[in-house]
Amino acid sequence: MKASQKKRNPWLYLVLVVMVLALLGFTTVPIIGSFIGEKASANTGDISSDNQQELELQAKGYQLVLEREPDNQTALRGLIDIRLQQQDIEGTIEPLEKLTELNPNLAEYGILLAQTKQQLKDYEGAAAAYNSILDNNPGNILALQGMVELFLERDLPEKAISFLKDTLKNAKEANLARPDTVDITGVELLLARIYTERQRYDEAIAIYDEAIRADENDFRPVLSKALVLQQQGLDEEAKPLFIQAVSLAPEYKDQIVKMAGQPLEESQKPQPEEKETATED
């Protein structure tokens, strides 16, 4: 395996996940650390004492509102924003829990709560938050991905694999009860990703091949298979698959070409045969 490809792999999969989520129509929710990064970048160096006092005054203002109106969502979101600017991750938990409670059908708050608890190493709390979402929507790809990351962060890849296999096993029943509840290909991509990270390439490719046979118009398993082949240094075998992925999802052409890391000549696509013109003797 080429060292450069090993280094490139996490970025490739990050892009792939974003593309998958975009294709499914999900609004991606940044992890709490991203929020902190954005707030921190707005302030060079440590927060000055004056700014800290100003932030604390704003926080107290929101807290006073919440004492009178505990369900005031504007104040809850404002308090979260202040705690993030103060880089007080733990201080976001209580208002996040309240927002999640007030919006049981809005998974984004639950996802953000789970990610926050995960960052604080509260794995049981994070798992409970993800499971709460999955109880209502067993196909929520962000919650499924979050659960997988929880297992992998604790070096429990076999539990992650079992979790996804169980999800796939129950997918048919869930989709019969409510069509399109579980995106089977999306779950398969997560499972194949684990196999790839464990260098179980044959198992990953077998999943991609099955997904390609199930839906020849879905670019995701085609692109995923290309990435796995590329990771193994099989660039020439991967190239036709990158070209096929572009033809299936031209709206992602720029991203796919960048991921391929090589020119994707259209000439490699099968060309229609030219009809011979009859000539008179």
pLDDT in tens, the chain (281 residues): 443 333 333 334 444 444 444 443 333 444 444 444 454 444 444 666 778 889 999 999 999 999 999 999 999 999 999 998 988 999 999 999 999 999 988 888 999 999 999 989 999 999 999 999 999 899 998 899 999 999 999 999 999 999 999 999 999 888 998 888 899 999 999 999 999 999 999 999 999 999 999 999 999 999 999 999 999 999 999 999 999 999 999 998 998 998 898 888 754 444 444 444 444 44
pLDDT of the residue at 17: 46
In the numeric block, the tokens 């079992």 are attached to 162
pLDDT of the residue at 134: 94
pLDDT of the residue at 4: 36
List Cα–Cα distances, 244 to 5, 189, 210, 229, in angstroms.
21, 18, 16, 14
Torsion of CA 190, 191, 193, 199, to 10 degrees: 170
Task: Identify the burial level of 145 via C-beta atoms within 10 angstroms of its C-beta, where 0-12 means exposed, 13-18 middle and 19 or more buried.
Answer: buried
pLDDT of the residue at 143: 93
pLDDT of the residue at 266: 55
- Give the pair of three-digit tokens for residue 163: 């979790």
In the numeric block, the tokens 């809850």 are attached to 76
The count of other CB atoms within 10 Å of the CB of residue 120 is 15
pLDDT of the residue at 263: 83
Residues with Cβ within 8 Å of residue 66, at least 6 apart in sequence = 72, 75, 76, 79
> Residue 123: how many CA atoms within 13 Å on its side-chain side?
10
pLDDT of the residue at 46: 60
Query: DSSP readout, 247-271?
Result: HH-GGGHHHHHHHHTS---GGGSPP
- Give the pair of three-digit tokens for residue 30: 């940044």
pLDDT of the residue at 233: 94
pLDDT of the residue at 191: 95
pLDDT in tens, 28-81: 444 444 444 454 444 444 666 778 889 999 999 999 999 999 999 999 999 999
List Cα–Cα distances, 92 to 70, 95, 123, 266, in angstroms.
15, 6, 17, 51
Q: Is 69 helix (H, G, I), strand (E, B) or coil?
A: coil
pLDDT of the residue at 47: 65
pLDDT of the residue at 116: 92
pLDDT of the residue at 180: 86
pLDDT of the residue at 105: 86
Look at the pTM and tell me if it is higher than 0.85. no
pLDDT of the residue at 37: 46
- Determine the Cα–Cα distance for residues 164 and 186; give it in Å rounded to an integer: 11
- Give the pair of three-digit tokens for residue 97: 């829990």
In the numeric block, the tokens 């005054």 are attached to 57
Torsion of CA 93, 150, 231, 7, to 10 degrees: 50
pLDDT in tens, 106-125: 888 999 999 999 989 999 99
- Mind listing the domains of the chain with CATH numbers? 1-29+137-264 (1.25.40.10), 31-133 (1.25.40.10)
